[in-house]
Chain A
Amino acid sequence: MFGFSKNKGGVHPEEHKAPSSTRPILTNIPLPAKLLLPLSQHAGADATPLVKVGDTVAKGQLIAAALRGNLSANLHAPTSGIITDIKPIVAPHPSGLPTNALIIEPDGEERWREQESLPIDPLTLSPDELASKVEQAGIVGMGGAIFPAAVKLRQGRRFEIKTFLINGSECEPYLTADDFLMQERAEDIVDGARLVRYILEAYRVVIAIENNKPQAIAALEKAAAPYGSIEIVAVPALYPTGSAKQLIQAVTGQEVPAGGRSNDLGILVHNVATVYAIQQALRYDRPLISRITTVTGACVSQPQNVEALLGTPVSHLIDICGGLKSEPNRLLLGGPMMGQIIPSLDVPITKGTTGILALNKREVNQQVPAPCIRCGRCVDTCPMGLVPLEMAKHSRTDDFEGAQAFGLNDCILCGSCSYVCPSHIPLVQYFEFAKGSLKLRKASEQKLEYTKQLTSMRGERMEKEAAEAAAKKAAKKNKRKSRSSETVDN
């Protein structure tokens, strides 16, 4: 509003980042009794299991492969052990619906799969070969978008990439996982940045960090100093700067065209944790089997960042952080602004789990919704320039076209409007409902169209078959006639 930022709107939620910032990342935590590995930890179709119950697997072994669709991703065993079950488990999703998962009982040996004795220097391989390695390692967007990284790299290679933008903004309150990753593993991130730059043949690499993380900025500036081509840019701390669109705007002043991708501007964005995972895969041949996640919230005894194996149950991580000191009002995966409620502590962390939050009632501050008083705070805070109050008004009465007229299609569901609404109206809930309904309607329209097509095709086919049959009959008749006439002739 006052021109401090190139972005419009946005909010400054209470940060709550201090509690999890007192200790370094906790690594080598005790193994849980079981690892639960959902086959869907990415945007696309489930990965297909390559193992069966009773198999012994080695750490890093490929156990489920991306065989269906373009947006699936490989899954590797996070530790050595036995596959004890392949069955549906409670999904780490608000619905609590079942999702298919592999269950590994660790043997405690942490025995790695056989590795190439000397990993190849990645810079001796071609960009396409490196992209394939990223694909094999099962890496997805680790900021929560879980879009396969290799797909993004290949899409990016089709364009002239001017700026490869690394997202270290971590604008969600509470979360400090990326902050600590940048502080403690800055060299690896800079190395990863150089590798991705090589894959993309990008001109410029920018690591964008919110200015509330001075230590991370300093660490990366130091690590990047030997390589002149990597810029560290501090962006104003303003939610949702970590959204790719808003980050691009904050760094370059450009806007991603509506309905388009950042590629359209010659920009490609990867999360800093994704870049780290890519570096680990290309340098050390390590697939994505663990991640750093923030365990925090007022109900957690010892909030901190933990490097945990994928599939580790939330309950195990909370135990490691000293357990719960009070009954949480809300349990979440991800940050408070865009994170999702989880149905129980038994769900595992996955590739996209940026944090585990156990919040008390005061932190959630949920109140009974009151009628909209049209104060317009949602309009002022919308980073996309939409009119949330009108969108909600129309969504409520199932007038989705009306909601679209005020920008529903451009809504990124960041929740800034709901956060500031003095009437405590669950605006995002309305928009998710409206978007879901529109999607359903479109799908049923497509289905109808397809059915229509099939029916008309069937009609045509039947007509054709009838015509052919009639022609055949006529031909036969003619033949018989001519034959009989021949006989007559004879």
Chain B
Amino acid sequence: MNSSIPLRASPHAHDSSHVNSIMFMVCVALTPATLFGFYIFGWPAVFLWIITIAAAVAFEAVCLAAQQQPLYRLKDNSALLTGWLLAMTLPPWAPWWIGIVGSGFAISVGKQLFGGIGQNLFNPAMLARVALLVSFPMQMTTWANVNPLFSTNAPSLLESLQIVFGFQPLADGVTGATILGQIKASGDVPVSELVATEFSLQQAFFGFTRGSLAETSEFLIFLGGLFLLYFRIISWHIPLSMLLTLTLVSGIFYSYDSAQYAAPWVNLTSGGIMLGAFFIATDYVTSPSTSAGKLLFGFGCGLLIFAIRAWGGFPEAIGFAVLMMNALTPLIDRSIKPRIYGRSHTGKPLPATATPRSQQRQ
């Protein structure tokens, strides 16, 4: 007998999908929003993005080597994606070490400590972002003004290097607060008044606002999300239930007390909500694997985002909301399973309907 023939179970065919290309496609979907971020925040954003991604890949390589895992695993692009997502959520003019510390935490603690790709309980990028926010609140809440590349106020290449690598704090005139930060710090000023003076729906939707490196343009990120949906890389369940829940809940509270609560359209166009709904909450590893589980997961995220924004201590809700739901994912996956063919929802076999002929004849 020919021993060179592999003993292998069926099937003996496979579609063209591969982990490497899935991760790559997600990066492609992020590209327009990222380029837009480069455009409005200039060279410092470009440098920070490069540093964060390079650090993520480098940490991944070190961790793989330390665990004596093959280095070709780097080709799965998962470290690239984690670094990319993290970079997008950082303040655009944050210093270089924020990117490195963040990536190091995301890859080593967020992912490899759990056992590497597919094993982590929490979304590594969100875990790192929250860790940075808690550890370095000043750097993580300094939001650069919108100064598009090549405009008069935009920093030159040299100034940009100084912003990223220099250790002196940024000048006062170049930064400000985000709308969610303003609402949080508003005190007695009614939210509706703040929104009326400080918020432009059009600017927020297209992304000409202060915010994280590449999550300000809800429009471009939404397009990226549609791209993922079209290529069936993500399913509609989590984004839809998350955005719908946030809209409904914030709508209810807004109609109840518009001085206290921000309107649904403010909620839907700020704080990187689209990035959260289409790219962060849909992370395969840390979200449920069944459709019903995904709907529940999205619902929980939406609810928590509203609650944190309305009553929590931090203005940025998505990271915390997603991490909390990540913790619930194993529980959701254990308790919500699809109905099995030939069984009821409780797992009991369906009843037989045919009549045995012997009975019929007697």
User: Which residues of A line the B interface, CB within 8 A?
Assistant: 8, 11, 13-14, 90, 94-96, 157-162, 173, 245, 249, 254-260, 263-267, 330-332, 336-341, 343-344, 357, 359, 363-367, 370-377, 379-380, 382-387, 389-390, 406-407, 410, 413, 415, 418-424, 426, 428-429, 432
Contacts and interface: CB of A to CB of B under 8 A. Distances in A.
Given A260-B349, A341-B8, A374-B285, A385 B14 contact: no
Given A257-B351, A376-B289, A336 B339 contact: no
A159 B355 contact: yes
Contacts of B17: 377, 420-422
A160 B360 CA distance: 8
Interface centre among A96, A158, A257 (most CB of B within 10 A): A257
A428 B21 CA distance: 23
Contact of A424 (B2, B6, B14, B21): B14
B340 A410 contact: yes
Nearest to A256: B342
A245 B341 contact: yes
Nearest to A407: B340
A336 B21 CA distance: 24
B171 interface: no
24 contacts: A94-B8, A159-B355, A159-B356, A160-B355, A160-B356, A259-B349, A260-B352, A265-B353, A265-B354, A266-B355, A338-B10, A367-B14, A370-B19, A372-B118, A373-B22, A373-B78, A373-B285, A382-B338, A384-B341, A390-B289, A406-B337, A419-B11, A422-B22, A426-B8
A365 B14 CA distance: 6
A384 B340 contact: yes
B18 A410 contact: no
B1 A385 contact: no
Interface in B302-339: 333, 337-339
Given A382-B338, A410-B342, A420-B17, 14 more contacts: A8-B341, A13-B15, A96-B2, A254-B353, A256-B341, A258-B340, A258-B341, A374-B289, A377-B17, A379-B338, A419-B13, A422-B18, A422-B22, A428-B10
B11 A428 contact: yes
A341 B14 CA distance: 16
Q: Of residues A260, A344, A422, which shows the largest number of chain B Cβ atoms within 10 Å of its Cβ?
A: A422
B290 A386 contact: no
A257 B350 contact: yes
B187 to A, nearest CB: 44
A386 B342 contact: no
Given A371-B119, A380-B291, A344 B2 contact: yes
Contacts of B284: 373-376
B9 A249 contact: no
B14 A364 contact: yes
A404 to B, nearest CB: 11
A366 B16 CA distance: 10
Contacts of B290: 376, 379, 387
A11 B341 CA distance: 17
A255 B342 contact: yes
A482 B339 CA distance: 80
Contacts of A159: 354-357
B7 interface: yes
B79 to A, nearest CB: 13
Contacts of B289: 374-376, 379, 387, 389-390
A330 B12 contact: yes
Contacts of B73: 370
B11 A344 contact: no
Interface in B64-120: 73, 76, 78, 116-119
B235 interface: yes
Interface of B: 1-2, 5-19, 21-22, 73, 76, 78, 116-119, 235, 284-285, 288-291, 333, 337-343, 349-358, 360
Contacts of A158: 356-358
A304 to B, nearest CB: 20
Contacts of A406: 337
A439 to B, nearest CB: 16
A359 B12 contact: yes
Contacts of B340: 258, 384-386, 407, 410
A415 B10 contact: yes
B341 A383 contact: yes
Nearest to B336: A387
**Among A255, A338, A375, which residue has the most Cβ atoms of chain B within 10 A?**
A375
Contacts of A331: 5
Contact of A429 (B8, B22, B353, B356): B8
Contacts of B1: 90, 96, 343-344
A366 B342 CA distance: 33
A414 B198 CA distance: 58
Contact of A420 (B15, B343, B352, B357): B15
Nearest to A381: B15
- A157, A161, A421, A423 — most chain B CB neighbours (10 Å): A423
A265 B350 CA distance: 10
A407 B285 CA distance: 21
A357 B73 CA distance: 33
A410 B344 CA distance: 13
Contacts of B117: 370-371, 373
Contacts of B341: 8, 245, 249, 255-256, 258, 383-385, 410
Contacts of A386: 338, 340
Interface centre among B10, B21, B349 (most CB of A within 10 A): B10
Contacts of A384: 340-341
Contacts of B338: 8, 379, 382, 385-387
A30 to B, nearest CB: 26
A266 B14 contact: no
A336 B342 contact: no
A336 B11 CA distance: 6
A372 B120 CA distance: 11
A428 B13 contact: no
A14 to B, nearest CB: 7
Contacts of B78: 373
B293 to A, nearest CB: 9
B230 to A, nearest CB: 14
A266 B355 CA distance: 7
A365 B13 contact: yes
Contacts of A382: 338
Contacts of A363: 13
